[in-house]
Structure 1
Amino acid sequence: MAIANYTDLLAEAHRQPDPQRLLFVFAKAELPDHPDAQQRERFERGEGGVLTPALCVDKTLDELSDMSSLVKESRRTGVEWDIVFVAALAGDGVTPPTSEEAEGPLQHMVEALQMGSIGNFLAFDRQGNAVDIQ
């Protein structure tokens, strides 16, 4: 199944044979250090820039409902973000992984994103639409 939005992601996660815990890294678009005029112009048009991890969290499927709820919850942190990257962590067939078990994979996810390695993650905008980041 092609995942076109956050709703599709949740539906696909619910279909998996093993219980899932979803890992979220919220990232903020920023200008790179020492941007040139072209980079600054593209960024002002809403293009380009660098995505910097700003906040991360893990959730079981029972803790998730829709994108607007996720956005509302993130607002309470006071941390601004533009794109959320998501990965799934499968459980043991009976229960999803615990938050403690998700700590290492979530940290690896943050590190991968800091290095610009985004290919293993789904990305969504604040409206819940899948984003293809080139």
Structure 2
Amino acid sequence: MDISSFDDLLQAARLQPEPQRLLFVFAAVELPDDATPAQRARFEAGQGGALVPLMCVDKTPQELPSFSALVEEARQFTAPGHDWAMVFAAAMSGTLNHAPTSADAEAPLQRMVDAIKGGAHGAYIPFDRQGQPVRFG
């Protein structure tokens, strides 16, 4: 299935033969302190910057009715002045009709956070604040 919106991700997760747990990492885009003048100019034009994970959460597809529900929940946990620019998503598959638990998701979520900090986010689907996929490059 082609994922062209966050709703497509939810639908795909709900249609899987085994129960799923969705993993989300919310990230800001910031300009590093040691940025060059050229990097600063690109950043001001809406390009470049460094991804900075702010918070993460896991949900079953049944716990999450829509992207707007995820955004609303994130709003409750967003610190003033640290708003997120995109959310990265991944899924964990259950086995034998048992969904992974939040405890099962802790280590994979931490690996997601570490990967995003290191710029290795290719295994995850990034969405913008409107629930549309983001393409890098």
TM more than 0.5: yes
Residue deviations 1:32-80 (CA, integer Å, cap 9, x gap)? 2311111111111221101111100100111111111111110111241
Q: Say which of 111, 123, 128 aligns to 2:126.
A: 123
Instruction: State the alpha-carbon separation in 1 of the partners of residues 45 and 64 from structure 2.
Output: 32
Specify the alignment match of 1:38 in structure 2: 38
Specify the alignment match of 2:68 in structure 1: 68
Superposed structure 1 runs of 4+ greater than 2 Å apart: none
SS in structure 2 at match of 1:128: coil
Deviation at 1:95, TM superposition (A): 2.1
Instruction: State the alpha-carbon separation in 1 of the partners of residues 108 and 58 from structure 2.
Output: 10
1:103 and 2:106 equivalent? yes
| One-letter amino acid matched to 1:122 | I
SS in structure 2 at match of 1:76: helix
Instruction: State the alpha-carbon separation in 2 of the partners of residues 43 and 91 from structure 1.
Output: 40
SS in structure 2 at match of 1:84: strand
Specify the alignment match of 1:57 in structure 2: 57
| One-letter amino acid matched to 1:109 | M
Q: So what's the TM-score if we normalise by structure 2?
A: 0.93
Gaps of 5+ in 2: none
Instruction: State the alpha-carbon separation in 2 of the partners of residues 86 and 133 from structure 1.
Output: 15
Q: So what's the TM-score if we normalise by structure 1?
A: 0.95
Instruction: State the alpha-carbon separation in 1 of the partners of residues 104 and 91 from structure 2.
Output: 12
Instruction: State the alpha-carbon separation in 2 of the partners of residues 49 and 112 from structure 1.
Output: 16
| One-letter amino acid matched to 1:17 | P
Specify the alignment match of 1:27 in structure 2: 27
1:123–1:130 Cα contact (<8 Å) kept: yes
Residue deviations 1:57-109 (CA, integer Å, cap 9, x gap)? 10011111111111111011124100100000011131210000110111111
Instruction: State the alpha-carbon separation in 1 of the partners of residues 91 and 23 from structure 2.
Output: 6
| One-letter amino acid matched to 1:60 | T
Gaps of 5+ in 1: none
Instruction: State the alpha-carbon separation in 1 of the partners of residues 40 and 7 from structure 2.
Output: 34
Percent identity over the alignment is 51
SS in structure 1 at match of 2:51: strand
